[in-house]
């Protein structure tokens, strides 16, 4: 298995370019991030070139953080802002040669929200196709993100089929899926053709991927048997410095 360090959580106590260098020093195969927009893309690109790591993906902005927003693309009446967020992500992704953009839906429900989200995704997929970039959608669990528009892999797969764009893929975050749906093995087998990226963390506390509800050694065997060879995104939280959380990673590397 190969692994990507999600720098939204790992080494997030330092500037993104330095976090990229830390991920390289630790032995990760790639990196990914959440919202890098306050850091000039040129500085990120320099760190990527220096380390030889690839930036796998980034997210569209959440919106008004003071209001607790978590994405814009399913919010009716905010369509122009959502498209601006997609355009912003596209520019940054192209600058740093990121392969994926996670288009965040936001807190919304109902048929109107679905129509709005579909329209935003169609716009994103059309723009991204010209740059060879995949658009990802990610179901979030109701414990961490109550009211988020997308909460199940079934709904995500329905949207992917409905839109029919070859560059629209599922972000399969094992932490979120285990909390909401469980049955990771069968879901991975069924959804593999539409999965664009896989992330891991311990359940239920979103700690390093060792122990908890998920049998990670078995999960890695399942993914290997399925032929998954892209880096898995280590997207976990910790109350101690990242370097003190890497026992799981060192054990796999040894």
Active site residues: 138, 235
Other beta carbons within 10 angstroms of residue 21's beta carbon come to 19
Among 89, 167, 74, 158, CA closest to 120: 74
DSSP string covering 151-168: --HHHHHHHHHHH--TTE
Phi, psi (rounded to 5 degrees) for 104:
-85, 130
Other beta carbons within 10 angstroms of residue 27's beta carbon come to 13
Q: Kindly tell me the sign of the dihedral angle through the C-alpha atoms of 76, 78, 83, 87.
A: negative
Q: Kindly tell me the sign of the dihedral angle through the C-alpha atoms of 125, 6, 219, 178.
A: negative
**CA-CA distance, 169 to 114, in Å (whole number)?**
17
Q: End-to-end alpha-carbon separation of the chain, Å?
A: 12
């Amino acid at each position: 298995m190969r692994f990507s360090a999600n720098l939204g959580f790992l080494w997030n106590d330092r500037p993104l370019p330095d976090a990229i260098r830390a991920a390289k020093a630790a032995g990760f195969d790639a990196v990914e991030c959440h919202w890098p927009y306050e850091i000039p893309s040129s500085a990120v690109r320099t760190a990527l070139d220096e380390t030889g790591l690839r930036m796998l993906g980034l997210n569209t902005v959440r919106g008004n953080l003071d209001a607790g927003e978590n994405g814009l693309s399913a919010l009716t009446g905010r369509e122009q802002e959502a498209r601006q967020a997609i355009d912003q992500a596209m520019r940054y992704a192209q600058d740093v040669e990121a392969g994926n953009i996670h288009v965040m839906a936001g807190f919304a429900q109902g048929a109107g929200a679905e129509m709005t989200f579909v329209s935003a995704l169609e716009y994103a997929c059309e723009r991204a196709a010209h740059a060879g970039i995949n658009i990802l959608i990610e179901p979030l669990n109701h414990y961490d993100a109550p009211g988020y528009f997308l909460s199940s892999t079934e709904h995500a797969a329905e949207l992917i089929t409905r839109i029919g764009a070859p560059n629209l893929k599922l972000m399969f975050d094992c932490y979120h899926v285990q909390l909401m749906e469980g049955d990771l093995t069968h879901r991975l087998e069924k959804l593999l053709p539409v999965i664009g990226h896989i992330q891991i963390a311990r359940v239920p506390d979103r700690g390093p991927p060792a122990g908890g509800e998920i049998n990670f050694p078995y999960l890695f065997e399942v993914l290997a048997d399925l032929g998954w060879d892209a880096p898995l995104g280590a997207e976990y939280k910790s109350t101690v410095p990242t370097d003190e959380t890497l026992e799981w990673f060192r054990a796999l590397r040894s």
